[in-house]
A and B are shown apart, each in its own frame.
Chain A
Amino acid sequence: MKYIDYYEVLGVPRDASTADIKKAYRKLAHQYHPDVSKETGAEDKFKKIAEAYATLKDPEKRAAYDNLGRHAQGEEFVPPHAWQEHFHESAADFSDVDLADLLAAFAAAQRAERRQRPLRGQDFDVTVPVTLEDVYHGSETEISVALPEYDAQGLLHRVPKTFHVRIPKGAADGQRLRLPGKGGSGLNGGKPGDLYIVIAIRPHKLYRMDGRDLYIDLPLAPWEAALGAPVRVPTPGGEVEMTIPPGTTSERRLRLAGRGLPSADGKHGDLYAVVHIALPARLTDRERELFQQLAKESRFNPRAALQSRTGAAQ
């Protein structure tokens, strides 16, 4: 079992009052609570903070924790002999037990009545990152989670499990798969919790997603935009040829109907190619010559609208 220095997690001295502990917790919770924080790793950080607070705010649990002695943060340690006796049958293996679960089991054991009441197992959310291609075609993946299971003494062990999950074609970002009864185990005859698998579609290097619709940047040479041209555009279902109409301006969105992501009902979103006029990084002598010739001969004034409003401005 790994030792966690809860006082250090909350940034309080070991003799801190309950009020100071609460204050420190609140401050950190405001900063790291996953529902309000945008910081990376906030969820894991908050888990530690909440665990520390749950132990230190409860005088009984705090006393039990202090009783474990002081160890370095993260140090592997074995609970003192008296503790092992308390959980005599499982004493051989504390390696897959979390410190917080051990303290919770200890506190529950102190209050004998708690042991009688059926407790429903915890629900768990596991986020599964998938690619855009996975949801376009449908795919299969394996998910590994360490789920808590009670032993005969009411002590929770983190048991690693792997689930084989089918990602259906047309799965949406944030969509949830519910696995009834596959969450944490219940206590005293309580029902097991559920496991939820949450789809998170990873950002794609080419496509941006807006629901079922996809957006892709489509660079065009000035002459392609001016004269129109057939161009090849990648889509998740394979490359397609697209006809650029003459006089296409920058930022124009060209729609490829039905080339977006599928939805569960079999319909497809659209793919939008957003036009950007691109120029060669360096012009050849001949290109410069041709542009100069165009500049000389064209009577096109792109700023006509600005000038008509402000009068003489050039």
Chain B
Amino acid sequence: MTIRITESVWQHASQLCSLQDIIDASGLTKEDVLELIDMGIIQPSNLEAEHYSFQIQCVTLARTARRLRDDFDLDASGLTMALRLLGRIDELETELNRLRIRLGGRGARQP
């Protein structure tokens, strides 16, 4: 059975979503998400706490947070630490990959 997609949304990095969207998509509670904002892990695009908006990638981050919390039984502090370190690894890998790409020749290997 093939279903032709009629209603679908390509998500672009520039798209914004609400606090409720993040809560719905991640399965985290409002308190969990606010804690991640407090700790600087999830960064809203504006500073009005009443009407926070977020870049769409924050949904992916929040879902990762929920997985890590549940799968490793992490408390808030452990979760923040894990996300911070993963973010740092991500940055380093991106930078390493970019250097390899620019270097070319034998140094260049895409992951």
Contact = CB atoms under 8 A, between A and B. Distances in A.
A175 B9 CA distance: 11
A47 B86 CA distance: 20
Given A35-B64, A163-B3, A215 B104 contact: yes
A270 interface: no
A68 interface: no
B51 interface: no
A179 B5 contact: yes
23 contacts: A26-B72, A35-B68, A36-B82, A46-B71, A50-B71, A123-B25, A160-B1, A164-B2, A164-B4, A164-B5, A175-B10, A175-B12, A176-B10, A176-B11, A177-B11, A179-B8, A182-B3, A194-B25, A203-B110, A208-B104, A209-B101, A251-B103, A264-B12
Interface residues of A, number: 40
A256 B12 CA distance: 26
B98 interface: yes
Contact of A253 (B25, B60, B102): B102
Contact of B102 (A171, A179, A215): A215
Interface of A: 26, 29-30, 33, 35-36, 46, 50, 123, 142, 160-166, 168, 171-172, 175-180, 182, 194, 203, 208-210, 215, 217, 251, 253, 264, 272, 274, 276
B13 A172 contact: yes
Contact of B110 (A33, A179, A208): A208
Given A161-B1, A165-B5, A251-B104, A210 B98 contact: yes
A178 B8 CA distance: 6
B34 interface: no
Contacts of B12: 175, 264
B32 to A, nearest CB: 16
Given A171-B10, A253-B102, 14 more contacts: A35-B68, A162-B3, A164-B5, A165-B8, A172-B13, A178-B8, A179-B8, A208-B110, A209-B110, A210-B101, A215-B101, A215-B104, A251-B103, A274-B102
Q: Which of B12, B13, B56 has the most CB of A within 10 A?
A: B12
B111 to A, nearest CB: 8
B7 interface: yes
A177 B12 CA distance: 9
Nearest 7 interchain pairs by C-beta: A274-B104, A203-B110, A208-B101, A162-B2, A176-B11, A178-B9, A217-B104
B108 interface: yes
